Amino acid sequence: MQLVLVENLGDINKDGFCEFAIFPHWYIGCWGKIQYFTFKNNEWKNFGFARANICEEVTFEKHVKVISTKKIKVMEVYPNKDYSEMLQRYKTLKLD
């Protein structure tokens, strides 16, 4: 069984529809992808993802930074090659 949390990002591109993120949450394991969606051409479109440690207690505000009406930066959290430490970086997603 899988739980899903939905987070409202607000109307980033000012088209009258709020963008949102989906956080899948598994009962076993903490690693997953946060999926980002926008409304375009009368349907919801996935415009990107970021790897995340879903079990981590991190506020959502630290994961997303709005750059413009067409771009956001999202924090990606992932292990290094030997899984000895967690790395973080921001990646840019375009709302196409």
87 has pLDDT over 80: yes
Alpha carbon separation from 5 to 13, 20, 57, 82, 86 (Å, rounded): 22, 10, 14, 30, 23
For the chain, domain boundaries: 2-94
* Highest mean pLDDT, choosing among 4-13, 20-29, 48-57: 4-13
**What pLDDT is stored for residue 9 in this prediction?**
93
4 has pLDDT over 80: no
pLDDT digits (tens, 9 = 90+) for 33-75: 889 999 999 999 999 999 887 777 655 667 899 999 999 999 9
